[in-house]
Amino acid sequence: MRNYLLLLPIMMMLALTAAAAPTVEKVEPPNWWTNATINPVRVLVTGTDLKNVKVITKNAALSASALHWSDNGHYLFFDLAIKPNAKPGLYKIGLTSGGATTEFDFEVVAKSAQTGRNQGYTPDDVIYFLIPDRFADGDVTNDDPPKSKGLYDRKQGRLYHGGDLQGVIDKLDYLKSLGVTAIWTTPVYDNNDKPDTKETYPGMPFTTGYHGYGATDMYAIDEHLGDAAKLRELIDKAHAAGLKVIQDQVANHTGPYHRWAADPPTPTWWNGTLENHLSNNWQKWTTMNPRATYQTQQRNIDGWFIDILPDFNQSDPEVEKYLIQNSLWWVEMYGFDSIRMDTLPHVPRSFWAKWGAAIHKEYPKVNILGELFDGDPALVAYFQAGRKGHDGLDTQIDTLYDYALFYPIRSAFARGGPIRDVSQMFARDWLYPNPNVLTTFIGLHDMERFMNEKGATIEGLKLAQTLIMTSRGTPLLYYGDEIAMPGGGDPDNRRDFPGGFPGDQQNAFAFAGRTDAENDVWSHVANLGKLRAGFAALRRGKTLDLLDAEQQSAYVRTTEKQAVLVVFNNDSKPAEVAFDVSMVKPLGMNAVLADRLGKLPDITITNGKVKFTMPARAAGVFTVK
């Protein structure tokens, strides 16, 4: 009897533990839509005491199956089938364990109409890339929100500066006036709410996730930027203004402070663990090496960025499903037109093939832009959709940044290198399944700005802008380049746009607030945008190279009835150019051509020949007068 009395408290504690009701902290995804291509949807529940629970759907329109629990009871996976007769609304789902039941709501929504959304972008578009935190502050109440107090300081380059989604909404008219037709912003995922003491720099004891690439919740919006309603407002108003919106997504990693970092939902959720993992070696080229072993590729695929960003293991079936569903959810819930996917070559190509196919199956018009930060055109081409690699896979990635072209552009127009190098890179277009849809640019947020290059001038910047706006592909403008904004390495290349923030001494969003030099560049970009919109040949025409000299170049973009001649002199002194256009029928054998940029005098075609003197560091965009 005495032994029984001694054991009684323990038995009572065990009974109470066994009867403890499951708790639900988060449900991912929080909702799903009718007529989805993925059905059943795989649901991830985060909470406590979830091990061995049963899932009870309160309505016959839903059914649960394929349950899987984490050993510590913090996570539950299950398939939720939405039957054809399911009506939009909230549905109760119960979790039962030991006689205790916890309920949560799961919403079924009607699939959105595709009209005016999920359009994809094409070479008909001009993309404007911005970092919301550094573009415009439209709502000062979220500059230093209570949820994440102390992360705001405009004097510190790696802290929040106050820009937000409302600021982007406020500047839609500005973007339209520049000739922009699509907007890409850095990720809007919720990031860490506390100082990041894992990524530090000299003189800076902590950093923040102002850039959005360190998600702590992949289904939430960071409070510094706004909320779900504000994101919908931005996209709806952008669409109403004729602007597309591209979402920046990350399927390679999360931020170092995501709950999963120390407590993953499955044992193989990450490549490695928080305590024991590889560091990324950035050897992207190993992914296309037919002689490479898994070991030679492993650090590039499995390694953690800067040794702190948890690296998803896309070979884990639960991870694969989670990431695919997450991407689809954002597109469906908010109406994004395209997806820009981060860090493409650091994820297995086998995953991209499945992920891309899922995106295209649900949204046939939504195109995918992949980031592959490398100047080797063969490597960039290896990841473009339309052709299988030696591994037998087609990545389904529609377009990539034309990094291979970026480097000779910078060399020629910023540093005065030979323009012939640009022509030689275009000559490698045969490597790509479809070079005409590549995304061209002269600057992004991971490099020094154009005007920070040694030898960079306004004239050189305008030449570079002329090239990407008149060449094949879809041109992309990095915020501030339209006013020749300077900036060194990260984070100096992410300065605040002048006039976007309370107290700014200059307002570069307005003509009167810009300097003469800034207005010169701004007007040049806007004029190029009008030309590209007005001439189909500049957007979708075939290209013929007419002149490839050391510092002079000429090419013509043609359709059946239209031709636009583009001529460059990248030399520091005037140069005579001469070339044959007799094969270009829309130009004719004898015609007068006018410079649509309005800077150069008319030129004459005589018996199919062109010969004239180009000023130093100049470009002309000519059409028949």
232 pLDDT higher than 50: yes
Amino acid making up residue 323: L
Give the DSSP letter of residue 422.
H
- Residue indicated by tokens 């203004």: 241
pLDDT given at position 54? 98
Report phi then psi at 551, rounded to 5: -125, 10
pLDDT given at position 115? 85
221 pLDDT higher than 80: yes
pLDDT mean across residues, the chain: 96
pLDDT given at position 9? 52
Please identify, in words, the CATH class of the domain defined by 127-266+338-408+437-534: alpha beta
Tens digit of each residue's pLDDT (9 = 90 or more) over 369-421: 999 999 999 999 999 999 999 999 999 999 999 999 999 999 999 999 999 99
What Cα–Cα distance (Å) separates residue 437 from each residue in 247, 318, 401? Answer: 18, 33, 10
DSSP 379-392: HHHHTSTTS--TTS
Residue 64 near residue 78, CB atoms below 8 Å: yes
DSSP 50-98: -TT-EEEESSTTEEEEEEEE-TTSSEEEEEEEE-TTPPSEEEEEEEEET
pLDDT given at position 18? 53
- Taking each helix axis from N to C terminus, what angle separates 349-362 and 317-334, rounded to the nearest 10 degrees? 30
Minimum mean pLDDT range among 12-16, 80-84, 108-112, 245-249: 12-16
Nearest C-alpha neighbor of 546 from the set 527, 567, 518, 562: 567
How far is the C-alpha of 239 from the C-alpha of 620, rounded, in Å?
A: 33
Give the DSSP letter of residue 605.
E
pLDDT given at position 458? 99
Beta bridge partners of 102: 95
pLDDT given at position 16? 47
How far is the C-alpha of 46 from the C-alpha of 442, rounded, in Å?
A: 43
Q: Which token pair is 55? A: 């899932």
Q: What is the dihedral of CA 173, 175, 181, 187, to 10 degrees?
A: -110
How far is the C-alpha of 285 from the C-alpha of 582, rounded, in Å?
A: 43
What Cα–Cα distance (Å) separates residue 267 from each residue in 53, 71, 272, 307, 545? Answer: 19, 9, 9, 20, 56
Residue 235 near residue 334, CB atoms below 8 Å: yes
Nearest C-alpha neighbor of 446 from the set 476, 490, 409, 406: 490
How far is the C-alpha of 507 from the C-alpha of 136, rounded, in Å?
A: 11
Q: Read off the pLDDT band of 12 (50, 70, 90).
A: very low
Residues 472-501: what's their mean pLDDT? 99
Please identify, in words, the CATH class of the domain defined by 14-109: mainly beta
- Residue indicated by tokens 């597109």: 331
Q: Which token pair is 19? A: 């009867």
Q: Are 14-109 and 541-624 the same fold in CATH?
A: yes
13 pLDDT higher than 60: no
| Domain assignments of the chain as residue spans, ordered by start | 14-109, 127-266+338-408+437-534, 541-624
Residues 111-120: what's their mean pLDDT? 92
Residues 505-521: what's their mean pLDDT? 99
pLDDT given at position 27? 99
Cβ neighbours of 462 (radius 10 Å): 22
| pTM as predicted | 0.96
506 pLDDT higher than 50: yes
542 pLDDT higher than 50: yes
Q: Read off the pLDDT band of 10 (50, 70, 90).
A: low
Beta bridge partners of 585: none
Percentage with pLDDT > 90 across the chain? 95
- State how far Cα 151 lies from the chain centre: 24
Q: Read off the pLDDT band of 114 (50, 70, 90).
A: confident
How far is the C-alpha of 535 from the C-alpha of 124, rounded, in Å?
A: 10
Tens digit of each residue's pLDDT (9 = 90 or more) over 35-60: 999 999 999 999 999 999 999 998 99
541-624 carries CATH number 2.60.40.1180: yes
How far is the C-alpha of 63 from the C-alpha of 57, rounded, in Å?
A: 6
Tens digit of each residue's pLDDT (9 = 90 or more) over 326-344: 999 999 999 999 999 999 9
DSSP 318-344: HHHHHHHHHHHHHHHHH--SEEEES-G
Using H for helix, E for strand and C for coil, what is the string for 155-204?
Answer: CCCCCECCCCHHHHHHCHHHHHHHCCCEEEECCCEEECCCCECCCCECCE
Report CA torsion sign: 294, 298, 301, 302.
positive
3 pLDDT higher than 80: no
- Residue indicated by tokens 């063969």: 378
Tens digit of each residue's pLDDT (9 = 90 or more) over 347-375: 999 999 999 999 999 999 999 999 999 99
217 conformational bin, left if phi > 0, alpha if psi -120 to 50, beta if neither:
beta
pLDDT given at position 381? 99
Q: Which token pair is 271? A: 């490549």
Beta bridge partners of 394: none
Q: Are strands 75-82 and 62-69 parallel, antiparallel or unpaired?
A: antiparallel
pLDDT given at position 20? 85
Tens digit of each residue's pLDDT (9 = 90 or more) over 267-296: 999 999 999 999 999 999 999 999 999 899
pLDDT given at position 19? 58
